[in-house]
Amino acid sequence: MTSQNGHTSILKVDNLVTRFYTPEGVVHAVNGVSFELREGETLGVVGESGCGKSVTMLSILKLVAMPPGKIESGSAIFHEKDLIQLNKDDIRQVRGGQIAMIFQDPMTSLNPVLTVEKQVAEPLILHLGMTKTQAKDRVVELLEMVGIPEAEKRLADYPHQFSGGMRQRVMIAMALSCNPQILIADEPTTALDVTIQAQIVDLVKRLRDEFGMSIIWITHDLGVVARLAQRVIVMYAGFIIEEAPVKELYANPTHPYTLGLLKSLPRMDVGERQPLTAIHGNPPLLYEKPTICPFAPRCDYAIERCWSENPPFEDVGVEHKAACWWNVKEGKARNAR
């Protein structure tokens, strides 16, 4: 699958819409999200909690609880198949086998009453048809590969006998067990201290280069994205509001929300210390699909048009797109088509 700019896409998501039907009302969690993942690249997906990052990825793998969730429309093309249209058995073959996912908290993802060997071996037996003996040998290899010392002695241990960082390594071993083509990592370092975070990021980088897989790294930490990703998507209120190569995004942030995220980051590369600024206000409750710019109530640059129309997501530079009526760089309204 070749994209318009000549890159080979491994996953192409188009106009994905996911809603949750709750007693309080309908939550418009994902509102027409489109993006592509290229072969061998790491795509960073950033935004604050509740912006739709995780729900987008869970929708692609049909892991959204239905009900209350419902994938209303859209497609996710992977090897010429639309994942959204696959039946339960077919999507199960893709999950864990060709596309693997690591979650934020390994303690809730790992089964507390099963040994680590049993849990890491399960996808090997299920997807690759290994015998228990073959699977055991492979589990030892995988645990060694992700840096767990004395791996063979740890096979009979349970998740609570591992530290947070080691549990996350077990999750990575499990995710990589079937050599997936895509690894989706949902804030996998959030609960870990900074040193362990750095080790996990370095580990994932090394494994990506070794196996040549594509990675979607979901986070609210722009520092991690700078070290790991080639391209970044910024999400807000269930929309993608900016997308650019990582260096371009940091050098020329175009959307006021991206600008706000970057201003709230400590910078080591500027001579003079600058005070960190917070983005005022709160993310919107998505009981109604926004018809205005969803960021307008929190935006320092909002103009009259922002309160009447949601801006289109369009090109603002080379491989750089944004959804904003205001040109931050030139300090004037963008020319509408």
Q: Return phi, psi of residue 17, to 5°.
A: -130, 120
Q: What mean pLDDT do residues 170-187 have?
A: 89
Among candidates 13, 52, 54, 51, which has minimal Cα distance to 34? 13
Split at pLDDT 50, 70, 90, the class of 309 is very high
* Neighbouring-strand partners of residue 80: none
For 79-129, where are the E strands, in sequence order? Answer: 81-82, 99-102
CA distances from 156 to 22, 140, 159, 195 (A): 42, 11, 10, 27
Q: Which two tokens stand for residue 52?
A: 């739709």
pLDDT tens by residue, 33-91: 999 999 999 999 999 888 999 999 999 999 999 889 999 999 999 999 999 999 999 99
Residue-wise pLDDT for 119-155, tens only, equals: 999 989 988 899 999 999 999 999 998 889 999 999 9
Tell me which of 109 and 80 has the higher pLDDT.
80
- Over the chain, what is the mean pLDDT? 89
Query: What are the structure tokens assigned to 243, written together?
Result: 């997308």
Reply yes or no: is the peptide bond before residue 67 cis, omega within 30 of 0: yes
Summarised one tens digit per residue, pLDDT across range 23-39 is 999 999 999 999 999 99
